[in-house]
Structure 1
């Protein structure tokens, strides 16, 4: 999937250049001190940020006086208690926090009690279809009849929503509902002046699947139908990525580009929201 993510990032930037140039300009204005990444044992969101050309700083312990406006907390099996408290306080004051998989039980439950929790069961190593809400951050890259495929690492933590009035489901999966009675794939909620976004499993997916003939088609089918790129834009993506239309299939491109689009949109929204916040007095 490394190649898929490399090409996916090129495609996301091309989509923004064609369809939302102001958003691309916002992305390119992000400074390294505005985005921090807490390294994890399993997920690697920093690889996606690098491919999107978004600068960031690795901060394993969440630097006490960090000016970051957005913090990514990668999936891990444990987190420093000082890190949890520092980031909780930062979110309270307006920072956005984005986390994945095991951060649900090991981080979010402690930092933001009463919102979401680990369902208590774990997944297998599997890939599920995802249905994004119409106003989700994924809405610009959805293909009707060909749901995005989301990889769950063995022992991923299904999401239990404790406060449905305050927690918004960004995307869901019927397969997760049937198997684990926990359909949410991505959720978000406000906390204090800040915001929290969490996904089950990882942003850096290790594989996809091809449940339909559409998913087995060439990657250019997704670039056209999913990302709605122009013919010239598709040619640019193929050239910059150094690939042919059939080097990657529809599903591989869809999985990588969907995850990458999500990261890009979160960065744009988080930094923009923080820059428009009233100054503290």
Structure 2
């Protein structure tokens, strides 16, 4: 059954707006075109399933939510191989996914052929014809795999028994469900099964991990390498995929599902990543609070602000009621000496880091200004949505909470200025990476730009900083 993203009342008034003739395909609505958006309404890509249409928000005033006559795809979101097909997406519904794709601003000039990008962005029809040809002509730099335009993740992951079946592997990729305890050094890089899809951002995270590791002491690197497999726990969500990032960074972790939280025997020395999700059991959120007060550390993203923190930590932070557009904003580090953001200044010295805001991301309202520390802000975010907090942290009892707007797993970055369009190598040179690390970036990041490596490197830096700080606190 299709999961509703909220109520089905579609009575929101748009009397003061004309209907944009380009509808879902209008690019102006996402390009800060204030004059255009002040005059025209556009159909919401979630149709009547939108979770924000009954709120007194900018979204509700500017978007229409007419019921969309679409039937559920018989393959569902997990097994459908046509999630990158705009026509299929508009005809069939897939749980947790919008009915329509966003128009890619680069159109035919778009260079991002990753499945994650194509599942979200629509391009002209001849773009797909050219992309389909890549199946037989394009190979991956990492393992010479054929690029599979519609390849999806196999539900059985690395335990799949059909990995020797070439036809199966053309349709499905098989990432590891948990990172293997590989060596954390420059000579050791992640190893992936031959079915894996070529994904620029996952490759960027592997490169970012190499650059971030250099900033850690040998003892911290060794501690991360030797930490127990259950030191880090991931609670899966609907939209974010921290597990993919942790895999790329060779961080060991275990998975605990939402319905297991009430009975799982958490230890106070563990760190729990809670992915952005459409919903979360309230009693599970309150049990998380109890464990945090006893010493547990949690890291949450985007909608977990409302589903977890607003339920169990409302005395610290809450959702400010607004929803962002799909956009990329510049960020500023406000506490550069804080151990969680150590190394971020070198990343921002030559070009301002960018932060991707997923459509309908939740801005953070600080309730307890004395205890909540804002480590990263965005002036643009504050101007548009009355809250500039990007990454916050606060202690609660003996434990700690970290929350960030949007997602850990970045599906895109943006080249806002000339430097962001430079090569990945230039970023390595800018942060004064070692010659070995720079050579690694040159060899593995030929198809990546400065902005992608900057985004992945700072994310990797944050994760390594948090884990090493956590491990050191247990000594």
Instruction: State the partner residue of 1:42.
Output: 239
Once the two structures are overlaid, the 10-residue window that deviates more, 130-139 or 6-15, is: 6-15
Asked if 1:56 corresponds to 2:258, the answer is: no
CA drift of 1:208 comes to: 1.0
Asked if 1:180 corresponds to 2:418, the answer is: no
Instruction: State the partner residue of 1:251.
Output: 451
Give distance in 2, aligned partners of 1:18 and 1:259: 13
Once the two structures are overlaid, the 10-residue window that deviates more, 106-115 or 134-143, is: 134-143
Computing the radius of gyration from Cα coordinates, the structure with the larger value is 2
CA drift of 1:262 comes to: 1.3
1:135 to 334, 337, 353: 337
Instruction: State the partner residue of 2:357.
Output: 152
Distance 1:20 1:106, change over 3 A: same
Asked if 1:264 corresponds to 2:461, the answer is: no
Instruction: State the partner residue of 2:81.
Output: none
Q: Which residues in structure 2 correspond to 1:223-242 (within 5 Å)?
A: 223-226=428-431, 228-239=432-443, 241=444
Q: 4+ runs of 1 displaced by more than 6 Å? A: none
Instruction: State the partner residue of 2:313.
Output: 112
Contact 1:75 1:103 in 2 (8 A): yes
Give distance in 1, aligned partners of 2:450 and 2:309: 34
Once the two structures are overlaid, the 10-residue window that deviates more, 157-166 or 66-75, is: 66-75
Instruction: State the partner residue of 1:85.
Output: 286
Deviations 1:193-221 (A, max 9, x none): 00000000001111111111111100111
1:12 to 209, 222, 237: 209
- 2:348 is paired with a residue whose SS is coil
- Which of structures 1 and 2 has the larger relative contact order (alpha carbons within 8 angstroms, sep 6+)? 1
Contact 1:130 1:149 in 2 (8 A): yes
Instruction: State the partner residue of 1:279.
Output: none
Once the two structures are overlaid, the 10-residue window that deviates more, 70-79 or 262-271, is: 262-271
Instruction: State the partner residue of 1:102.
Output: 303
Query: What TM-score does the superposition give when structure 1 sets the normalisation length?
Result: 0.90
- 2:298 is paired with a residue whose SS is strand
Contact 2:208 2:458 in 1 (8 A): no
Once the two structures are overlaid, the 10-residue window that deviates more, 17-26 or 56-65, is: 17-26
